[in-house]
């Protein structure tokens, strides 16, 4: 009888090891693969301003569902924060290295510190209210070979109420993307 | 309500004390019973069991739970609140002293329960045909498994049943590394054998 009892208890505990954890955090994770538009001139001069557009549709595909998700009606958020990197090629390391850009050299809409991490750029719901967009400019101040780096581009909702639905959007470029992010800056 | 239950339990125990020493030779195969504790929590259940052989029994229980039953469960996690509305439980029992005698009993049972989970993301489609999430109530059915231990008294020529039972049911949800648990099939049951 002891063996039976121990067997039952062990079975319950072991089954628990294979059970999923029902973590319920009221957030929705989405992916977009075409969040960047960059009309790359490939060669710029010091003093030029490079522009690119960031954004995504208000209506996004969601894994497992046939209907697009209305991001704005779900969240009521008119802004999503994001950040990006600029890399410069280094002959020392023989690879691109991240460089810090003075915020004064970046042109574009910014989130306020109360709702987003410091120095976050934001995409905003456009006038047609069908997409979140931002145009970002970088004033080029030094020569070299550079690339825009969107490897960790995520769109995050504003800080705030735990009792509302929050949508997080990750940018993963399509494997067929031909977006060229490399450019040179000359004197 | 609690005072009435206490009176009833005392009455039945008194009956048991007066019961003749010699048990009748009649054996009963069927039993229906209900848990006296559940009405305290605005809930009710009904159990039927059929004796098999000399020590075993199989049965089926149906329970309908009210709002207050959540006092007996630890089934809430994070912001969500679970409320079990009703439950069907097939069970099997082993009576250590035989199923025609006063006896300790060990029980295992399955569980199929209908649950309302409040505070959960619920996706719907708006008039324009787009999906929208809200925080609301989602209803679903979930399975579970439980074990119980108790003691059954047979009274009034073995026709009347009084039993105390402690039961725990899990739905295999994990709170960190511990399985969730609820005090299901726990209480004092009164029943009739035929």
For A42, the domain range is 24-186
Do B121 and A24 lie within an 8 Å CB cutoff?
A: yes
Residues of A in contact with B172 (CB under 8 A): 15-16, 19
pLDDT for res A117: 86
User: In this complex, is the C-beta atom of B21 within 8 Å of any C-beta atom belonging to chain A?
Assistant: no
Residue A74 pLDDT class (50, 70, 90 cuts):
very high
* Contact A187/B at CB under 8 A: no
**A91 in contact with chain B, both atoms CB, cutoff 8 A:** no
Q: Whose CA is closest to A154, among A109, A117, A107, A108?
A: A117
CB neighbour class for A169 (10 Å; exposed up to 12, middle 13-18, buried from 19): buried
Within 10 A of A93 (CB to CB), how many other CB atoms are there?
8
| Residue A6 domain-assigned (yes or no) | no
Task: Report the number of distinct structural domains present in chain B.
Answer: 1
- Using pLDDT thresholds of 50, 70 and 90, give the confidence band for residue A24: very low
Which tens digit of pLDDT belongs to each residue from B155-190?
998 999 999 999 999 888 776 677 778 888 999 999
Q: Is residue B172 part of a domain?
A: yes
Q: Does a structural domain hold residue A94?
A: yes
**Does the residue B80 lie in any domain?**
yes
Q: Choose between A47 and B66: higher pLDDT.
A: A47
Residues of A in contact with B125 (CB under 8 A): 67
CATH number of the domain at A41, please: 2.60.40
* Burial class of B18 by CB neighbour count within 10 A (0 to 12, 13 to 18, 19+): exposed
Q: How confident is the model at residue A9 (pLDDT cuts 50, 70, 90)?
A: low
Q: Around Cβ A85, how many Cβ atoms within 10 Å?
A: 16
Position B182 scores a pLDDT of 83
Which single residue is written with the structure tokens 């955090």? A25
pLDDT beyond 90 at A171 = yes
Domain-located, residue B23:
no
Domain contains A125: yes
Residues B138-155: what's their mean pLDDT?
Answer: 93
**Residue B156 forms contact with A (CB below 8 Å):** no
B144 lies in some domain: yes
How far is A180 from A173, CA to CA, in rounded Å? 12
Cβ separation A69–B80 shorter than 8 A: no
Pick from A32, A31, A41, A33: which is nearest to A180 by CA?
A: A41
What tokens appear for B149 in the block? 């231990």
| ipTM, interface predicted TM-score of the complex | 0.79
| pLDDT band for position B20 (cuts 50, 70, 90) | very low
CATH number at residue B62: 2.40.160.20
- Supply the mean pLDDT for chain B: 84
Q: Are A88 and A96 in contact (CB under 8 A)?
A: yes
Other C-beta atoms closer than 10 Å to the C-beta of B152 total: 22
- What is the arithmetic mean of pLDDT over B10-30? 58
pLDDT at A16: 43
Domain count, chain A: 1
Distance CA A125, CA A75 (A): 12
> B38 in a domain, yes or no?
yes
Q: Do A68 and B80 touch (CB under 8 A)?
A: no
Task: Give the pLDDT of residue B4.
Answer: 55
Domain span at residue B109 reads 2-13+28-193
Q: Give the Cα separation of A138 and A50 in Å (integer).
A: 5
Residue B183 within a domain: yes
Minimal Cα distance from A66: which residue of B? B131
Query: For residues A42 and A46, what is the distance between their CA atoms, to the nearest angstrom?
Result: 13
B21 occurs within a structural domain:
no
Q: Annotate A152-165 with three-state secondary structure.
A: CCEEECCCCCCCCC
């Amino acid at each position: 009888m002891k063996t039976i009892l121990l067997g039952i208890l062990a079975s319950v505990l072991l089954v628990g090891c294979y059970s999923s954890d029902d973590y319920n955090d009221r957030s929705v994770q989405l992916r977009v693969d075409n969040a960047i538009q960059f009309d790359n001139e490939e060669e710029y001069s010091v003093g030029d301003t490079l522009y690119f557009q960031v954004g995504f549709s208000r209506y996004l595909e969601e894994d497992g569902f046939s209907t697009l998700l209305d991001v704005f009606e779900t969240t009521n958020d008119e802004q999503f924060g994001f950040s990006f990197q600029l890399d410069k090629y280094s002959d020392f390391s023989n690879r691109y290295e991240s460089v810090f850009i003075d915020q004064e050299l970046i042109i574009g809409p910014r989130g306020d510190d109360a709702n987003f991490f410091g120095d976050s750029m934001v995409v905003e719901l456009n006038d047609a209210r069908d997409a979140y967009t931002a145009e970002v400019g970088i004033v080029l101040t030094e020569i070299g070979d550079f690339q825009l780096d969107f490897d960790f581009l995520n769109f995050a909702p504003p800080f705030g109420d735990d009792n509302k639905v929050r949508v997080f959007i990750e940018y993963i470029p399509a494997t067929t993307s031909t977006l060229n992010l490399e450019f040179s800056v000359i004197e | 309500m609690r005072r009435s239950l206490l009176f009833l339990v005392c009455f039945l125990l008194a009956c048991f004390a007066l019961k003749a020493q010699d048990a009748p030779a009649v054996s009963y195969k069927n039993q229906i019973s209900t848990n006296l504790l559940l009405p305290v929590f605005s809930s009710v259940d009904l159990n039927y069991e059929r004796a098999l052989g000399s020590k075993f029994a199989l049965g089926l229980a149906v329970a309908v739970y009210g709002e207050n039953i959540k006092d007996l469960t630890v089934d809430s996690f994070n912001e969500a609140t679970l409320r079990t509305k009703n439950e069907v439980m097939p069970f099997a029992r082993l009576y250590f002293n035989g199923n025609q005698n006063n006896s300790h009993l060990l029980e295992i049972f399955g569980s199929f329960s209908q649950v309302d989970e409040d505070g959960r993301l619920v996706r719907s489609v708006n008039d324009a045909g787009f999906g929208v999430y809200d925080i609301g109530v989602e209803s679903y059915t979930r399975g579970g498994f439980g074990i119980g231990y108790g003691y059954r008294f047979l009274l009034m020529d073995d026709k009347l049943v009084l039993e105390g039972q402690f039961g725990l049911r899990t739905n295999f949800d994990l709170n960190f590394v511990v399985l969730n648990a609820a005090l299901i099939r726990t209480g004092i049951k009164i029943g009739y054998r035929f």
